[in-house]
Amino acid sequence: MSKDQTRIAVVTGGASGIGEECARQLRDQGWRVVVWDRHATDGEPTVDVADYASVAAAASRLDGVDLLINAAGIAGSRDPVGRKDPAEWAQVMAVNLNGTFHCAHALYEALRARGGVVVNIASVAGMVMMKGRAHYAVSKAGVATLTRSLANEWAEDGIRVIAVAPGYVKTPMIQRSIEAGELDERKLAAMHPLNRLATTQEIAAAMIALAQPPFLFMTGAVVTIDGGMTLGK
Ligand SMILES: NC(=O)c1ccc[n+]([C@@H]2O[C@H](COP(=O)([O-])OP(=O)(O)OC[C@H]3O[C@@H](n4cnc5c(N)ncnc54)[C@H](O)[C@@H]3O)[C@@H](O)[C@H]2O)c1
């Protein structure tokens, strides 16, 4: 990462939830932050990470990048396969998995030029199967595998690639499902031995810390931050 210049971060999904908190914490730490989101923030142009042309156009407007945080994502429905809309399956893959690939791919040369870092968001949902979540689980397992693939391919370019795999985090994505009656907050909390959901602050702080010293020897890791959820009962 550059030491003498202002450090530049691209944060996808930076208009809400974990991405928004990453953008806030990075700005507080003196970074210049460019948000790529389908919803506009601070007059920045909208970017659809599922659409490679949109991502490539946004990449062409940058003048350097030290850190790419891939936080854009969608949850999709809770219908089981057999009752799931195939178009919705494709959309979850397009945003969560293809979107992560699109952004990393479009920023490869820029990241290489500055010895940059990519931090992706996988999920415990890619490790512990939940009914009705097949598309989301597959997309997040794909993000974990993409993280290891990119870390392996790009190590010789000096680019580190890591991911976090959170348990449930209290963000607008989860809040919407609670309000729609699809999820029960107390039951969600009870799935984690620490008996609560994570805060966006906790997840963002971990993602930003892992991108910087002293974690420079870490690449290809998918770091579980789940209040013990994957430990079993
Ligand atoms: N909240 C959780 O419990 C939880 C747990 C594990 C992983 N995650 C993952 O963390 C990431 C952030 O989730 P969140 O809970 O903060 O969600 P959120 O809904 O609060 O924010 C997601 C952001 O992504 C943006 N986005 C969606 N589709 C996009 C697209 N095609 N192009 C550009 N931007 C797009 C949205 O506009 C929004 O600003 C997601 O990848 C999610 O899967 C969330």
pLDDT at 40: 84
Does the beta carbon of 22 lie inside 6 Å of ligand 1?
A: no
- Token output for 24: 């806030």
Tens digit of each residue's pLDDT (9 = 90 or more) over 170-200 = 999 999 999 999 899 999 999 999 999 999 9
Helix (H) or strand (E) holding 119: strand 117-121
Chain-centre distance for alpha carbon 142: 12
- Write down the domain spans for the chain: 8-221
Catalytic residue among 52, 108, 136, 168: 136
Q: What 3-state class would DSSP assign to 80? A: coil
The H-assigned helical ranges of the chain are 17-28, 52-60, 86-92, 99-106, 108-114, 134-154, 172-179, 185-190, 200-210
Give the pLDDT score at 143.
98
Give the pLDDT confidence score for residue 4 in this predicted structure.
59
For residue 12, report the distance from its CA to the centre of ligand 1, in Å: 9
Return d(Cα 88, Cα 75) in angstroms, integer: 10
How many other CB atoms are found less than 10 A from the CB of residue 152?
A: 12
In angstroms, what is the span from residue 19 Cα to ligand 1's centroid?
Answer: 7
- 98-145 pLDDT, tens digit per residue, is 999 999 999 999 999 999 999 999 999 999 999 999 999 999 999 999
Confidence (pLDDT) at 3: 58
- Cβ-Cβ contacts under 8 Å for 231 (sequence gap 6 or more): 193
The pLDDT tens digits for 84-96 are: 999 999 999 999 9
* pLDDT of res. 180: 92
Put the strands of the sheet holding 222-225 in their side by side order.
32-36, 8-12, 67-70, 117-121, 160-166, 222-225
Round to whole Å and give the CA distance between 90 and 4: 43
In whole angstroms, what is the distance from residue 229 CA to residue 188 CA?
10
Q: For 203-217, what is the mean pLDDT?
A: 98
Question: Does 173 sit in the ligand 1 pocket, CB within 6 Å?
Answer: yes
Ligand 1 atom showing the smallest separation from residue 169 Cα: 3
**How far apart, in whole angstroms, are the C-alpha atoms of residue 154 and residue 113?**
12
Beta bridge partners of 164: 121, 223
Fold of 8-221: Rossmann fold (3.40.50)
**CA of residue 135 to ligand 1 center, whole Å:** 15
pLDDT recorded at residue 5: 79
Give the per-residue pLDDT at 1: 60
Q: How far is the CA of 153 from the centre of ligand 1 (A)?
A: 26
Residue 13, ligand 1, Cβ within 6 A: yes
Partners of 68 in the β-ladder: 10, 118
To the query of whether residue 136 is one of the catalytic residues in this protein, the response is yes
- Express each pLDDT in 28-76 by its tens digit: 999 999 999 999 888 889 999 999 999 999 999 999 999 999 999 999 9
